[in-house]
Structure 1
């Protein structure tokens, strides 16, 4: 299924790639709730604008999800966070603000030019001291991380075909009682549609099939509708 490209009515410089065009009611609802719960933030807005100006695709999490990730990390007292898929660093900034001053976010990015944009955004946001960007194929990068230096929280938002590979590595690296979140697991309902079998859908299905049999993990998926369309994420607890 091809993506639809659209613009946000409040932020016309932002172009979103998505599986389905969002209902205007979803966008209006996002903006309404954000007006109460997510204050305007120069560093976050600038990170989106700078990423767009440098040609990065608008596939970052939306503000509501960024805030949720931030709150979830804070709620478990996370000091070390692993992120797979940096892009321009928008979600990374949310994470870096969630960890204490002596905390750390390690984020994996395939493309050096994306990593450079992200580093610039981290400097502007004042969180560069908490973030380490590892550049290269994440499947290889993750293998280099020692399993005795545990993370509290992992967020996987990279190529969906490799979801299971990333999840297994995250499980190796996250502490017992830690959280692993995988983004984009609903995909406009295509994951549940037997007539659709592209590599992204297969990547999600393979992950779900594994987790069903994995007795060390308890998980659920949450569907979402937002300015980014109809999608959702997987929330897993490493028992």
Structure 2
């Protein structure tokens, strides 16, 4: 028994991934291509255990309508799409045609491209085009950190009661304790706002760079 989460060595992390729906060939190829083609940006890709968790959570809430803010090369969206109900739809928001062109190829290879819609443009604007009703089952946020409050403001009113919002990078490598730049400060403030938001029940998990799960009331 322990009073806090166990630190992960490389070997223990590999064991954890291997025992929790490890990546298949398509996901491994996507991760490897992202690292090879975009070595300076590859850290923006979700960790393999996060991908498995996203599929699990999508299935757990029985998601039919899902949204992703920040798609990059598509690993998280692939994970979510695989967990959707048979008639489910995932709407992805990103600003990069370059990064998402990789995502499109892997969505097609995995046979989930027919359930994903990609919208290119600033998510603060494109999210406002979504229906003004409580219909979303699941949302995943992993985009520019200063935009988190905007995305939160647009998503929460559109989540059905019991809907789930997952927000990535809420620990900022530990820098939320002593913010060093604008993004760190934005996330530290965002975390406080989520904690005080009476519309949700939220928990912060030490998964990868920190993952907040918020159930909308």
Assess same fold via TM > 0.5. Answer: yes
Determine which of 20, 30, 37 is the counterpart of 1:47. 30
Mapped contact 2:20–2:52 kept (Cα < 8 A): no
Alignment correspondent of 1:84: 69
Query: How many pairs were matched up?
Result: 209
Q: Which residue of 2 is the match for residue 202 of structure 1? A: 185
Gaps of 5+ in 1: 1-22
Structure 1 residue 236 and structure 2 residue 211: aligned? no
Cα root mean square deviation, aligned: 1.8
| Alignment of 1:167 onto 2:152 | yes
1:213 maps onto 2:196 in alignment: yes
Report runs of 4+ in structure 1 exceeding 4 Å deviation.
Answer: none
1:1-239 correspondence to structure 2 within 5 Å: 26-55=9-38, 57-58=41-42, 59-148=44-133, 150-193=135-178, 196-224=179-207, 231-239=209-217
- Higher strand fraction: Structure 1 or Structure 2? 1
Question: Structure 1 CA distance, aligned partners of 2:143 and 2:151?
Answer: 9
Unaligned ranges ≥5, structure 2 = 1-6
Deviations 1:121-164 (A, max 9, x none): 11111110111111111111101111237210111000111111
CA contact (8 A) 1:87 1:109 kept: yes
CA distance in 1, matches of 2:23, 2:70: 25
- Structure with higher helix content: 2
Question: Conserved in 1, the CA contact under 8 Å of 2:63 and 2:84?
Answer: yes
Larger relative CO (CA 8 A, sep 6+): 1 or 2? 1
